[in-house]
Amino acid sequence: MKIIIGNHIEHSILKLSNDDRIFSQRVIWFAEDGDLIILPSKPDMQFLQHVTSLTGVDANSLKFFVTSNNKSNEKHFDPQALYEEQFINSIRKEINNVTQVLPMWPSPAIAHFVEKLSLSDKLQGASFFLQNGVELVNNKAYFRVFATAAGAPIADGRVCHSIEEAELAIRNLLSINDAVMIKQAHNGAGAGNELLIRDKSLGVGHVGAVHMHVLSTANDPIKSYLDSRWNWASANGKRPVIIEEFIPDAKTIYAEFFANDEGVYFTGSGRLGYTNQRLVTEIAPLRGISKEVETKLTTYGESLAKFYQSIGYRGYLSADAVIEKDDNIVFTEVNSRVGGSLHVYDSIANKVVKAKEEPERTVVQYHSPLNWTPVAFETFHQFLEDNNLLYDSSKRKGILISLPILLEVGGYVSFCIVYENEQEEKQYYSLLDNHFSTKKLYL
Amino acid sequence: MKIIIGNHIEHSILKLSNDDRIFSQRVIWFAEDGDLIILPSKPDMQFLQHVTSLTGVDANSLKFFVTSNNKSNEKHFDPQALYEEQFINSIRKEINNVTQVLPMWPSPAIAHFVEKLSLSDKLQGASFFLQNGVELVNNKAYFRVFATAAGAPIADGRVCHSIEEAELAIRNLLSINDAVMIKQAHNGAGAGNELLIRDKSLGVGHVGAVHMHVLSTANDPIKSYLDSRWNWASANGKRPVIIEEFIPDAKTIYAEFFANDEGVYFTGSGRLGYTNQRLVTEIAPLRGISKEVETKLTTYGESLAKFYQSIGYRGYLSADAVIEKDDNIVFTEVNSRVGGSLHVYDSIANKVVKAKEEPERTVVQYHSPLNWTPVAFETFHQFLEDNNLLYDSSKRKGILISLPILLEVGGYVSFCIVYENEQEEKQYYSLLDNHFSTKKLYL
């Protein structure tokens, strides 16, 4: 049996999002018969039923634990529970022959927890994680340092430990380009990136940056920008800030690996699609890029994976890159954790769909389109059923629900379309969008 | 020729000390004929004359540059100068056949500077330093992470990214011991360490911690301690904080290495002596410890050096350790820079004194004893001359001045005693102390 822990980056590293109950339950995709799963709150039974019907797991064989029975605390995984004797003892009673401990974010609390359960040998890298190694290997500032040693190409830019260093770096980059990226050391899906541009007309919709700032025409606009945004960028002075050249018309791709004591293993690759600077789609496996780019991605990606393995990290890691116009690629970060793609490219594309078997399939996950009306799980599921859109394992096509849909958390929908060609994908999407969109816009 | 740069840790990493003119001039010990040396201010001519008379270098062959001609700025090396065209051009005119660039703190400004001079190949690791790799490899928090990967023993403890994590770590360590060490991520010579103790009577004079705090008997004393000291410990929230077990009766030792593209090379080892928690002596070569401890120091030290080399660092690095009562050692930090020991163990002990040649010699450097009266260089030097105490190269014994003595910076004295046995060392010291001490105390 595995112990799967649906935790996430901790408050000491990054301010928590409002509610993690949806995202934490993606771990159900990783379950096998008999696994024990720790979540912030009880799993959504409809989602559990949906996922296990696709993965072929016996839902009744899974044991669930929650870090809080207190309604007011259930929005977030509470790492404090992992230090509590009573909680540890209740889990100790339920485990035998544990083969692996699989946390989403291998924090010191996790390392302490496995030590107390005498399971440190089932979490490779436990002593590294006990010293908060996970913070280091998810830090975009130190990524730029490590990439130089691993020999992976990175965008022109600097790591800035003070507002003065940032001012100099921005000034230098804006002297050769009309835009720069300002990046927080920790954050994901573009939420930690801000694009600073001279001119509003620049084409920037594809960029993974939630924030955008147009330089004022005032005296010393860089200084006044930093005066207003340095605290955001540096997490109130807590972290270094990355200043990078802006790469026009870039596509975002990734290669993931699994690192263990023996080495690193390629586990999958895919593409992220940003619309209006917001992460909208995740596509797996990787399609529609040149052989040359794919080779660069996996070769340099493997160098980075080996580097992170050599400094002590164990577990899944994703090397993210953007493709420049001329088929060059530059790497932007390494995420050393179970990120938002593993269930898409591995659980769904590799295992449920077997996407690389003939006839080949592609999986695209959409995250809760902004102009959709909130729905309940059963409403969405019923619509798929009624319109014969539900994923059909005999045809290896259709739509499946990739994350819980919880009305109390906003009724957002995350789903995957499994398709043979792009026209088919558009048809599936249009059917959904026509029904659930409030504005009837095709994104 | 070499370019030697007497810079130091930058303001963005650590608040600068009041005046760096004394310490920066230690680089004169590293000069060879024809070298170019960049300092915050002009070298002290008496010190220059003293050092070169011992190293055999032609002082007139050295070219000095200063980062500021402005009297108000000369206390600190100004890294901004390294970005200025005029400064770069003035240096470009003076260099030919540069074999090595040797900064004390290889910052991004240094990497930029060598790039502008087309000398990046003379500063190994230039691309690593351009991304501020030097901050990472001098950070005591990440040292604890790296030590787990390098397999070097460290003290029990945690790396804390929030006050809550620190509270938990202190509570756990104080449940098994009467004292804990609180360490800043960046700082040196004990200035970044605070000893938190339950009981004033604990014997702690030997500890490398400038600060000490006795836990109050109030309710929740750990919390109230952290409320008052977290900002200090975390550099106003900018860095993680290290909480470590207190090691009673520990001696501090180090092994230094030089890392280049090919590998790492042992360069020397020594011991640091703390009195009343203040760094007072540096002794080289390493004497008076067991063969077993020395083997552990150099073996694990080499593992750490190789690790830091593997992640991209190039240059001198010191692996610091403390000896526990039972001849165990634990490592406390790696300093990846030219620290305060290189001129003592290498320039003075290895090269001037040839301390390991028969009859063997030992060198001890004393830093400005607190109860000495301020003196001028010539006063101190004259006293040595008049009393026949000046280092005598034929006898390989005596006293030499290791750092400039500047009355305007306080008239502090740093000197080295070169001796054959400890009794001799005590005699030398007593003669000085009897003359210069205001209190006539033997430290």
Question: Measured between CB atoms, does A81 come within 8 Å of chain B?
Answer: no
How many Å lie between the alpha carbon of B113 and the closest alpha carbon of chain A?
14
**Would you tell me the crossing angle of helices B422-436 and B377-386 to the nearest 10 degrees?**
130
Q: Which of A250, A248, A251 is nearest to A201 (CA)?
A: A248
Q: What is the mean pLDDT of residues B357-362?
A: 96
pLDDT band per the 50, 70, 90 thresholds, residue A436: very high
Q: H/E/C letters for each residue in A167-178? A: HHHHHHHHCCCC
Q: What is the mean pLDDT of residues A189-203?
A: 77
Identity (one letter) of the amino acid at A265?
A: Y
How many Å lie between the alpha carbon of A13 and the closest alpha carbon of chain B?
7
C-alpha distances in Å from residue A10, one per residue of A105, A210, B223: 8, 21, 21
pLDDT band per the 50, 70, 90 thresholds, residue A205: low
pLDDT band per the 50, 70, 90 thresholds, residue A367: confident
C-alpha distances in Å from residue B310, one per residue of A305, B105, B140: 14, 19, 18
pLDDT at A277 over 70: no
Q: Provide the pLDDT for residue B220.
A: 87
Closest CB from A12, A108, A159 relative to B132: A159
Choose the mutation target among B113, B156, B238 for the interface with A, i.e. most A CBs under 10 Å.
B238
pLDDT at A8 over 70: yes
Question: Measured between CB atoms, does A172 come within 8 Å of chain B?
Answer: no
Q: Provide the pLDDT for residue A9.
A: 80
| Of B108 and A438, the one with more pLDDT | B108
What order do you get walking across the sheet with A193-197 strand by strand? A157-160, A241-245, A179-184, A193-197, A211-214
Closest CB from A128, A132, A237 relative to B238: A237
pLDDT at A392 over 60: yes
Spatial CB neighbours of A345, under 8 Å, sequence gap ≥ 6: A256, A267, A268, A269, A270, A284, A285, A363
pLDDT band per the 50, 70, 90 thresholds, residue B441: very low
pLDDT digits 0-9 by tens, A61-101: 999 999 976 766 788 899 999 999 999 999 999 999 999 99
Q: Provide the pLDDT for residue A332.
A: 94
* B-chain residues near A159 (CB < 8 A): 108, 131-132
pLDDT band per the 50, 70, 90 thresholds, residue B207: low
Q: What is the mean pLDDT of residues B323-328?
A: 88
Contact A159 B238 (CB under 8 A): no
Q: Which of A318, A55, A296, A271 is nearest to A153 (CA)?
A: A296
Question: Measured between CB atoms, does B108 come within 8 Å of chain A?
Answer: yes
Question: CA–CA separation, A210 vs A228, rounded Å?
Answer: 17
- Structure tokens, A129: 């994680």
Q: Provide the pLDDT for residue A326.
A: 85
For domain A248-336, give its CATH number from 3.20.20.70, 2.60.40.1120, 3.40.190.10, 3.30.470.20.
3.30.470.20
pLDDT at B96 over 80: yes
Contact B158 A83 (CB under 8 A): no
Contact A161 B135 (CB under 8 A): yes
Q: Provide the pLDDT for residue A207.
A: 62
Instruction: Name the DSSP class of B43.
Output: P
Report B:382-421 residues touching A (Cβ under 8 A). Answer: none
Give the CA dihedral B147, B152, B153, B157, nearest 10 degrees.
0
* B-chain residues near A130 (CB < 8 A): 148, 158
Q: Provide the pLDDT for residue A189.
A: 67
* A-chain residues near B10 (CB < 8 A): 161
For A174-188, A254-268, B86-100, which range has the lowest pLDDT when averaged over its residues? A174-188
Q: Are B347 and B336 within 8 A, CB to CB?
A: no
Closest CB from B130, B142, B165 relative to A12: B165
pLDDT band per the 50, 70, 90 thresholds, residue B72: low
DSSP per residue over B90-112, as a string? HHHTT--S--EEEESS--HHHHH
| Of B190 and A220, the one with more pLDDT | A220
Give the CA dihedral A118, A124, A125, A129, nearest 10 degrees.
-60
Question: Measured between CB atoms, does B132 come within 8 Å of chain A?
Answer: yes
Does a cis peptide bond (omega within 30 degrees of 0) precede residue A374? Answer: no
Does a cis peptide bond (omega within 30 degrees of 0) precede residue B359? Answer: yes
Q: Provide the pLDDT for residue A428.
A: 96
Contact A108 B165 (CB under 8 A): yes
| Of A355 and B278, the one with more pLDDT | A355
Q: Provide the pLDDT for residue A442.
A: 44
SS3 B336: coil
pLDDT at A415 over 80: yes
Q: Provide the pLDDT for residue B188.
A: 74
pLDDT at A409 over 80: yes
How many Å lie between the alpha carbon of A362 and the closest alpha carbon of chain B?
38
Question: CA–CA separation, B320 vs B330, rounded Å?
Answer: 9
**Would you tell me the crossing angle of helices B45-55 and B377-386 to the nearest 10 degrees?**
40
User: Residues for chain A: how many in total?
Assistant: 443
pLDDT band per the 50, 70, 90 thresholds, residue B36: very high
pLDDT digits 0-9 by tens, B257-276: 999 999 999 999 999 987 76
Identity (one letter) of the amino acid at B99?
A: T
How many Å lie between the alpha carbon of B198 and the closest alpha carbon of chain A?
24
| Shortest CA distance from B143: residue in chain A | A131
Question: Measured between CB atoms, does B310 come within 8 Å of chain A?
Answer: yes
What percentage of chain B exceeds 90 in pLDDT?
74
pTM check: above 0.90: yes
Domain boundaries, chain A: 2-134, 156-245, 248-336, 340-442
Q: What is the mean pLDDT of residues B214-223?
A: 84
Closest CB from B144, B236, B312 relative to A145: B312
Question: CA–CA separation, B292 vs B298, rounded Å?
Answer: 10
Contact B161 A127 (CB under 8 A): no
Q: What is the mean pLDDT of residues A162-180?
A: 91
Q: H/E/C letters for each residue in A362-396? A: EEEEEECCCCECCCCHHHHHHHHHHCCCECECCCC
What percentage of chain B exceeds 70 in pLDDT?
94
Question: CA–CA separation, A154 vs B221, rounded Å?
Answer: 47
Q: Provide the pLDDT for residue B68.
A: 79
Question: CA–CA separation, A364 vs A387, rounded Å?
Answer: 19
Question: Measured between CB atoms, does A231 come within 8 Å of chain B?
Answer: no
Residue B274 has φ and ψ, to the nearest 5°, of -105, 135
Beta strands in B151-263 (DSSP E): 157-160, 179-184, 193-197, 211-214, 241-245, 251-259
pLDDT digits 0-9 by tens, A281-299: 999 999 989 999 999 999 9
Q: How many CB pairs under 8 A join A and B?
A: 102
For all residues of chain A together, what is the average pLDDT?
A: 91
Question: CA–CA separation, A235 vs A336, rounded Å?
Answer: 20
* A-chain residues near B108 (CB < 8 A): 158-159, 165
pLDDT digits 0-9 by tens, A134-156: 999 999 999 999 999 999 999 99
Question: Measured between CB atoms, does A171 come within 8 Å of chain B?
Answer: no
pLDDT band per the 50, 70, 90 thresholds, residue B216: confident
| Of A360 and A220, the one with more pLDDT | A360
User: What burial class does residue A431 get, using C-beta atoms within 10 Å of its C-beta: 0-12 exposed, 13-18 middle, 19+ buried?
Assistant: middle
| Number of helical (H) and strand (E) elements in chain B, helices listed first | 13, 17
How many Å lie between the alpha carbon of A153 and the closest alpha carbon of chain B?
11
Q: What is the mean pLDDT of residues B365-380?
A: 89
Contact A108 B159 (CB under 8 A): yes
Find residue B321's DSSP bridge partners: B253, B331
Q: Are A182 and A243 within 8 A, CB to CB?
A: yes
Buried b (16+ CB within 10 A) or exposed e, A71-90: eebbbbbbbebbeeeebeee
Contact B132 A145 (CB under 8 A): yes
Q: What is the mean pLDDT of residues A240-252?
A: 88
Q: Are B318 and B334 within 8 A, CB to CB?
A: yes
User: Residues for chain B: how many in total?
Assistant: 443
| Shortest CA distance from B130: residue in chain A | A158
- In chain B the first and final C-alpha atoms are separated, in Å, by 42
pLDDT band per the 50, 70, 90 thresholds, residue A325: confident
Q: Provide the pLDDT for residue B442.
A: 45
Question: CA–CA separation, B1 vs B20, rounded Å?
Answer: 25
User: What burial class does residue A411 get, using C-beta atoms within 10 Å of its C-beta: 0-12 exposed, 13-18 middle, 19+ buried?
Assistant: middle
Q: What is the mean pLDDT of residues B118-133?
A: 96
pLDDT at B429 over 80: yes
Task: Please tell me which of A241-245, B68-72, B186-190 the model is most confident about, judged by mean pLDDT.
Answer: A241-245
